[in-house]
């Protein structure tokens, strides 16, 4: 049978079909962990090719997993039930801007950073800015509804998708949404499919919304003596009347990792730092940072350094950008969590993570997009140390449970994938999961599109790090 499938795939894609283990092995991982070798890898380059592959998959009842640059931190592109990896990275030929309509159209393999560049050339902005934007593809951003630092003011990927071309599980092409910001013509399939992790349809083109590019930015670094006040300052800033464009937090641990890694002369003793960017007309930015400074003084926070010039500002943002590389440097497996909380609950979560860290004797680095309550507690794990692995699994479960208890959510921007599916029922309840499953079953009755993601697997009640 495998030969029959191969022949059919090769009829459509010729030499863009791979089946040997040595060719397929590098398509079996992503930015999370675990390795799953697919039966086939196909490199699609057109909507028609996607349709043909989906039809062949239907004929042989073989799973399909779409894949971009695979920077996913939740297992989105892992072919956990084997089958066909549909690689979009070779399909990047279409990227067009319509400046008068304030929109861009792109094929799924386009690098997100290229979209930023093109918009920028026209004095416009594509706002979503996942930290991996220089290497990730827009297709992956759409699948996972990627976020980024600008989320606090500008929202996430979903907020900038006006329309999609989608190949359904049956191989039909549909258009969702369109070219307009307002659209209430039927159900909002665009926002249903963005973030559905490739489980409801295969995205083959996106129409993205642009906004006028802010004229300037200015950044302040705020130092805190304790984590609780750092957490509290977030609501204080957001209710001061100013709308920051970025608000990123690093705890002492994250700060020191970056300092070890890059020697930037950072205040190693601070319990946490907050980087706050405001954007807009240059004449107003100083005044806005002043407003924030005064609001913080009211809660006893007085260490606010405002970047004097562009160079200083870039240096501050360098700190945030180096957190992940600094953590990866250790060589151990990096488990990036993604809990998101109501703003007022951030201090509680910081306190809890500190307790968990002590209790399980673990090294947990906390950083994240403070302004939208999105924290990334990150654990480094030596996967050869079974005892440590189990402590990490316990810690992750405790963090999730507490997030849900605080009215937060398991994932703000990384997606559920394989990493968080075991916790879905905890957050959504049985009826909530069933409601979601009804949609999946209606649109993909044979469960061919990226199976093994989002929905809990029977018997799997927690994150299991060592299951290969």
Establish if 439 lies at the interface with a second copy (CB under 8 A).
Answer: yes
Q: Which long-range contacts (CB under 8 A, 24 or more apart) does 101-105 make?
A: 101/179, 102/209, 102/210, 102/211, 103/162, 103/179, 103/207, 103/208, 103/209, 103/210, 104/207, 104/208, 104/210, 105/205, 105/206, 105/207, 105/208
Establish if 405 lies at the interface with a second copy (CB under 8 A).
Answer: no
Establish if 424 lies at the interface with a second copy (CB under 8 A).
Answer: yes
Considering beta carbons, is residue 155 or 360 the nearer one to a second copy?
155
Cα distance between residue 316 and residue 275, in whole Å: 8
Establish if 425 lies at the interface with a second copy (CB under 8 A).
Answer: no
Collect all residues with Cβ–Cβ distance below 8 Å to 358 and sequence separation of at least 6.
Answer: none
Establish if 459 lies at the interface with a second copy (CB under 8 A).
Answer: no
The C-alpha angle 76, 77, 81, rounded to 5 degrees, equals 100
279, two tokens: 């954007």
Establish if 299 lies at the interface with a second copy (CB under 8 A).
Answer: no
In the region spanning residues 330 to 369, those forming contacts with a second copy, defined by CB under 8 A, are: 340-345, 369
Which is it for strands 84-87 and 40-43: parallel, antiparallel or unpaired?
Answer: parallel
Considering beta carbons, is residue 157 or 380 the nearer one to a second copy?
157
Chosen residue from 25, 181, 264, 464 binding a second copy by CB under 8 A: 181
> Which positions from 304 to 323 touch a second copy by CB under 8 A, shown as an x/- string?
--------------------
Chosen residue from 5, 97, 103, 327 binding a second copy by CB under 8 A: 103
Establish if 298 lies at the interface with a second copy (CB under 8 A).
Answer: no
Taking the complex as a whole, how short is the minimal distance between the CB of residue 148 and a second copy, in angstroms? 10
Chosen residue from 42, 57, 200, 389 binding a second copy by CB under 8 A: 200
Judge whether 273 and 264 are in contact, CB under 8 Å.
Answer: no
Chosen residue from 133, 324, 374, 381 binding a second copy by CB under 8 A: 374
Chosen residue from 50, 276, 322, 454 binding a second copy by CB under 8 A: 454
Collect all residues with Cβ–Cβ distance below 8 Å to 305 and sequence separation of at least 6.
Answer: 220, 221, 222, 223
Considering beta carbons, is residue 259 or 348 the nearer one to a second copy?
348
Burial zone of 248 (CB within 10 Å; 0-12 exposed, 13-18 middle, 19+ buried): buried
Q: Got the DSSP string for 51-77?
A: HHHHHHHHHHT--EEEESS---SS-TT
Q: Got the DSSP string for 337-400?
A: ---B--GGGHHHHHHHHHHHHHHHT--EEEEEEGGGTEEEEEEEE-TT-HHHHHHHHHHHHHHH
In the region spanning residues 38 to 77, those forming contacts with a second copy, defined by CB under 8 A, are: none
**Of 82-90, 96-104, 264-272, 313-321, which part binds a second copy (CB under 8 A)?**
96-104
In the region spanning residues 208 to 237, those forming contacts with a second copy, defined by CB under 8 A, are: 211-213, 215, 235
Taking the complex as a whole, how short is the minimal distance between the CB of residue 387 and a second copy, in angstroms? 30
Establish if 132 lies at the interface with a second copy (CB under 8 A).
Answer: no
Collect all residues with Cβ–Cβ distance below 8 Å to 122 and sequence separation of at least 6.
Answer: 97, 99, 210
Establish if 428 lies at the interface with a second copy (CB under 8 A).
Answer: yes
Chosen residue from 35, 61, 180, 386 binding a second copy by CB under 8 A: 180
Chosen residue from 3, 20, 22, 187 binding a second copy by CB under 8 A: 187
Chosen residue from 8, 82, 150, 420 binding a second copy by CB under 8 A: 420
């Amino acid at each position: 049978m495998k030969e029959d499938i191969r022949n059919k795939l090769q009829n459509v894609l010729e030499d863009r079909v791979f089946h040997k283990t040595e060719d397929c092995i590098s398509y079996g991982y992503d930015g999370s962990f675990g390795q799953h070798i697919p039966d086939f890898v196909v490199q699609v380059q057109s909507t028609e090719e996607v349709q043909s592959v989906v039809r062949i998959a239907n004929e042989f009842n073989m799973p399909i997993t779409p894949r971009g640059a695979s920077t996913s931190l939740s297992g989105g592109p892992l072919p956990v039930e084997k089958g066909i990896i549909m690689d979009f990275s070779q399909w990047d030929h279409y990227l067009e801007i319509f400046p008068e309509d304030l929109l861009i159209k792109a094929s799924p393999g386009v690098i997100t950073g290229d979209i930023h560049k093109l918009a920028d050339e026209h004095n416009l902005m594509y706002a979503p800015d996942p930290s991996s934007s220089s290497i990730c593809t827009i297709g992956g951003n759409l699948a996972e509804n990627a976020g980024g630092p600008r989320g606090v003011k500008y929202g996430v990927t979903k907020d900038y998708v006006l329309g999609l071309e989608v190949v359904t599980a049956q191989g039909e092409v549909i258009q969702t949404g369109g070219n307009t910001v307002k659209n209430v013509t039927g159900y909002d399939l665009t926002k249903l499919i963005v973030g559905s992790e490739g489980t409801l349809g295969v995205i083959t083109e996106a129409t993205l919304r642009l906004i006028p590019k802010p004229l300037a930015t200015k950044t302040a670094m705020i130092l805190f003596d304790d984590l609780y006040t750092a957490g509290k300052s977030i609501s204080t800033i957001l209710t001061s009347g100013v709308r920051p464009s970025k608000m990123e937090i690093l705890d002492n641990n994250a700060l020191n990792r970056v300092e070890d890694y890059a020697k930037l002369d950072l205040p190693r003793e601070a319990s946490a730092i907050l980087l706050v960017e405001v954007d807009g007309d240059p004449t107003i930015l100083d005044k806005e940072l002043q407003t924030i400074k005064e609001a913080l003084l009211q809660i006893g926070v007085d260490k606010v350094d405002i970047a004097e010039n562009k160079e200083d500002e870039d240096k501050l943002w360098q700190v945030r950008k180096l957190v992940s590389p600094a953590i990866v440097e250790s060589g151990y497996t990096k488990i990036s969590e993604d809990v998101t909380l109501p703003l007022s609950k951030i201090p509680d979560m910081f306190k809890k993570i500190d307790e968990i860290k002590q209790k399980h004797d673990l090294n947990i680095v906390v950083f994240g997009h403070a302004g939208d309550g999105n924290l990334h507690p990150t654990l480094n794990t030596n996967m050869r140390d079974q005892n440590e692995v189990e402590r990490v699994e316990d810690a992750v479960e405790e963090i999730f449970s507490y997030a849900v208890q605080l009215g937060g959510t398991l994932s703000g921007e990384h997606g559920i994938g394989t990493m968080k599916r075991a916790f879905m029922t905890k957050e959504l309840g049985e009826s909530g999961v069933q409601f979601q499953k009804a949609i999946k079953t209606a649109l993909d009755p044979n469960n061919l599109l990226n199976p093994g993601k989002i929905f809990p697997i029977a018997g799997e009640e927690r994150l299991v790090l060592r299951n290969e």
